[in-house]
Structure 1
Amino acid sequence: MTMLTPKKGRLLIAEPSILNDDSFKRTIVLLTEHSESSSVGFILNRPLQYVLEDLIPDIECKFTIYQGGPVEQDNLYFIHRIPHLLTDSIEVANGIYWGGNFKALKVLLKDDLIKPTDIRFFLGYSGWGSTQLQSELNTNSWFISENDFNNIFTEDEEGIWKNKLLQKGGEYKIWANAPADIQMN
């Protein structure tokens, strides 16, 4: 089996061995940008207790906000599947786009023209400097997977990490069923 390399649109799956890293323990990160100088992504399976109208009161919208990562946690980001409605979007891969015209987004949300299965909002992002991600891959903090989800916006946040470990197989099957707090075992 060939090892995948980081690439825009691929997933970073947190290795079970990074149990002490509260920022990334049991996470899946969608890479939205990857180059020699940096990598950027968003954690897909960390819903927060906020909804969009908590952060933007003039929009009555109950879409869940997710923790995107430890960088710039006071900024709101979004990925979506509706580039035809949001100009200035950047294609990530496989019909997933990052960002776009925020004024247009606000109007679309106010008019109920976007479904939660088309968009996901994040506070903060995950970022790595030029050699940082490769260093973390070399120390087995992550493994890389293709984004083979039909729609990442409808995946079960609770089971997404476990399912990727089961899919990888081998010793990962044991970790997939381990409790979140290993001391509870």
Structure 2
Amino acid sequence: MDTLRGRLLVATPAIAGGPFLRSVVFVLDHDDDGALGVIVNRPLDSDVDDVLPAWGAFVNAPVCLFDGGPVAMDSALAVGVLADATPPHGWRQMAGRVGLVDLEGPLPGDGQLAGLRVFAGYAGWGSGQLEDELAEGSWIVVDALDHDLTSPTPETLWREVLRRQDDDVRFWATFPDDPGAN
């Protein structure tokens, strides 16, 4: 099985509702046991400073919590992008320069992270579940760019990721919010 670790799952219009509607998911882990990722384009109204005051200074704008997915919404998960080769204490590499940051450990040093986001919850799939959803056309798998995780305009990320594709996938970016209103 080819791993999807470090790639993006972009929801197709086949997902017509629920937490994954027009979502962009960064896959943190994927193997025979299942997959784990975070939705990177769902900012919440809660500021990081209100929940984790010491971490607010390290988070990229918008400085808010993100809805990472429907699993374990009462827990926080921090995903960072390394700025240099020296990871912060408690770093767990996931793909390339992207990894998990231990929110209970010491704060990162100046210049260690190029970006950081804090997610409430995560997206998870059991063994074979994601592969089934891919086969039914619910997701498009595309390459991730580091700045996808820290986009200053996450609400436009779904369309941006689709538009930058080289094939006909880019046309999904023009799919109307309500196809019945056409």
TM range (shorter): 0.7 to 0.9
| Residue ranges of structure 1 left out of the alignment (5+ in a row) | none
| Residue ranges of structure 2 left out of the alignment (5+ in a row) | 58-62
TM-score normalised over the length of structure 2:
0.81
In 2 relative to 1, CA 119–150 (structure 1 residues): closer, same or farther, beyond 3 Å? closer
SS at structure 2 position matched to 1:45: coil
In 2 relative to 1, CA 161–140 (structure 1 residues): closer, same or farther, beyond 3 Å? same
The whole-number CA distance in structure 1 between the counterparts of 2:28 and 2:73 is 17
Of the structure 1 ranges 118-127 and 92-101, higher mean CA displacement relative to structure 2 is found in 92-101
C-alpha contact (below 8 Å) 2:117/2:149 kept by paired residues: no
Q: For residue 121 of structure 1, what is the aligned residue in structure 2?
A: 118
Q: 2:89 aligns with which of 84, 87, 98?
A: 87
Q: For residue 41 of structure 2, what is the aligned residue in structure 1?
A: 45
Q: Does 1:74 align with 2:89?
A: no
In 2 relative to 1, CA 6–140 (structure 1 residues): closer, same or farther, beyond 3 Å? farther
Q: Deviations over 1:126-177 (max 9, x none)?
A: 000001111111111101111134463135312211122222542651x312
Q: Percent of aligned positions with the same letter in both sequences? A: 28
The whole-number CA distance in structure 2 between the counterparts of 1:74 and 1:96 is 23
Q: Does 1:102 align with 2:104?
A: yes
The whole-number CA distance in structure 2 between the counterparts of 1:178 and 1:30 is 22
* 4+ runs deviating over 6 angstroms: none
Q: CA deviation at 1:78?
A: 0.7
Of the structure 1 ranges 116-125 and 62-71, higher mean CA displacement relative to structure 2 is found in 116-125
The whole-number CA distance in structure 1 between the counterparts of 2:21 and 2:6 is 21
Q: For residue 144 of structure 2, what is the aligned residue in structure 1?
A: 147
Q: 2:26 aligns with which of 22, 25, 30?
A: 30
Q: 1:59 aligns with which of 54, 71, 78?
A: 54
More strand by share: 2
The whole-number CA distance in structure 2 between the counterparts of 1:184 and 1:127 is 33
Q: CA deviation at 1:180?
A: 2.6
Q: Does 1:135 align with 2:132?
A: yes
Q: Deviations over 1:99-134 (max 9, x none)?
A: 3262313xx5xx9x5799510000000000001111
TM-score normalised over the length of structure 1:
0.80
